[in-house]
């Protein structure tokens, strides 16, 4: 599968899969693009100004723990080592939880959820598939968008020992609805994105994206209510992938244009719109809701307790101070 034609100056090689950086570290991936589509104001706060939440929703940390456990399982085939790695992820991030009660809740659920998965799929996977890689990052140049590389993090890439077919397996944890999780992922850009990467790396051997869901309602403590279910392999057409490339290229070009306007002094509210639908879209008030109106300079000088400013090399516009992020010369 070939992407849209590009000029010789814009052509770049697709990088072979490699071990991914820590979760959440990659820019220009599916979550990066999804946040821009969901709420541009929050995108600006997070990626341009470097404002982040001090605490993380327990579902995200728990999901990360299960990802880590399954990666170790595929590398070692040891339940003990896999379970311990998942639990270690919880313990390492205990200060990121909203409360110690939430941390304990997640800590106690790693082993039962993984046990159900080993019995449903874990041992079968080791027999049926050759493990080509776990937590592998694929980097793809975006057509007509010089300077941006689209990143993907494949949880597991496996080859059927009999047919030679290659699949991406993507882990999802769910606690409210198994069917909703499967259907929402089926319809997401992530599937198309990873199909693109899989086809670029493995060619015709690549046969699709498989959603691997582990469901356990938060209202139940009974491990017998755990359900593990996988989707059928999902393989997008070449046309669908090209339409995704066009969409992501257009989005990144729009982001680039806004970054240039921002650097030239255009006030950020004129560039990054607030999407009020997103303020409560996950049944919880958006963590940025109190600062996104940009009504008073003092807000970002004294952020609410649950927000902090990221101090990393990835932060953009490093020369900014809190006094020039609003209106006026050089404002962002």
Write out pLDDT tens, residues 206-219: 999 999 999 999 99
* CATH label of the domain that carries residue 35: 3.90.320.10
Q: Confirm whether 311 is domain-assigned.
A: no
Number of C-alpha atoms within 13 angstroms, CB side, residue 48?
25
Q: Confirm whether 100 is domain-assigned.
A: yes
209 near 233, Cβ under 8 Å?
A: yes
Alpha helices in 170-305 (DSSP H): 178-186, 189-202, 238-263, 298-301
| pLDDT on residue 292 | 79
Average pLDDT over every residue of 273-289: 85
Q: Confirm whether 266 is domain-assigned.
A: no
99-122: string of b/e by CB count within 10 Å (b at 16+)?
eeebbebbbebbbbbbebbbebbb
| pLDDT on residue 325 | 32
137-160: string of b/e by CB count within 10 Å (b at 16+)?
bbbbbbbbbbebbbbbbbbbbbbe
- Identify the weakest region by mean pLDDT among 77-86, 137-146, 204-213: 137-146
pLDDT digits (tens, 9 = 90+) for 143-190: 888 777 888 999 999 999 999 999 999 999 999 999 999 999 999 999
Average pLDDT over every residue of 19-32: 57
Average pLDDT over every residue of 24-45: 77
Q: Confirm whether 318 is domain-assigned.
A: no
| Domain total in the chain | 1
Measured CA to CA, the distance from residue 294 to residue 44 in angstroms comes to 12
| pLDDT on residue 17 | 52
Q: Confirm whether 200 is domain-assigned.
A: yes
Q: Residue 318: pLDDT band by 50, 70, 90 thresholds?
A: very low
Q: Confirm whether 154 is domain-assigned.
A: yes
Range of the domain at 210: 15-247
Q: Confirm whether 109 is domain-assigned.
A: yes
Q: Confirm whether 292 is domain-assigned.
A: no
| pLDDT on residue 8 | 36
Q: Residue 53: pLDDT band by 50, 70, 90 thresholds?
A: confident
């Amino acid at each position: 599968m070939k992407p849209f034609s590009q000029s010789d100056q814009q052509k770049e090689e697709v990088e072979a899969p490699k071990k991914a950086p820590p979760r959440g570290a990659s820019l220009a991936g599916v979550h990066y693009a999804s946040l821009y589509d969901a709420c541009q104001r929050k995108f600006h706060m997070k990626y341009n100004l470097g404002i982040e939440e001090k605490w993380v929703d327990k579902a995200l940390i728990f999901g990360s723990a299960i990802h880590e456990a399954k990666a170790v399982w595929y590398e070692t085939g040891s339940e003990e080592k896999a379970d311990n790695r998942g639990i270690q992820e919880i313990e390492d991030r205990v200060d990121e939880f909203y409360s110690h009660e939430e941390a304990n809740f997640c800590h106690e659920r790693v082993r039962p959820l993984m046990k159900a998965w080993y019995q449903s799929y874990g041992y079968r996977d080791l027999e049926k598939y050759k493990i080509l890689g776990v937590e592998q990052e694929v980097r793809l140049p975006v057509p007509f968008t010089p300077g941006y590389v689209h990143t993907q993090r494949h949880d597991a890439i496996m080859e059927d020992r009999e047919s030679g077919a290659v699949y991406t397996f993507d882990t999802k944890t769910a606690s409210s609805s198994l069917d909703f999780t499967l259907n929402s992922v089926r319809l997401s850009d992530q599937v198309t994105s990873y199909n693109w990467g899989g086809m670029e790396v493995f060619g015709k051997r690549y046969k699709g994206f498989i959603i691997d869901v582990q469901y356990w309602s938060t209202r139940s403590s009974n491990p017998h209510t755990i359900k593990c279910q996988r989707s059928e392999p999902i393989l997008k057409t070449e046309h669908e992938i090209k339409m995704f490339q066009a969409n992501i290229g257009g989005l990144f070009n729009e982001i680039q244009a806004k970054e240039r306007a921002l650097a030239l002094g255009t006030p950020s509210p004129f560039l990054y719109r607030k999407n009020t639908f997103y303020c409560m879209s996950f049944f919880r008030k958006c963590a940025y809701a109190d600062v996104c109106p940009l009504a008073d300079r003092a807000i970002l000088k004294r952020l609410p307790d649950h927000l902090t400013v990221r101090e990393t090399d990835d932060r953009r516009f490093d020369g900014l101070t809190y006094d020039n992020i609003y209106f006026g010369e050089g404002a962002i």
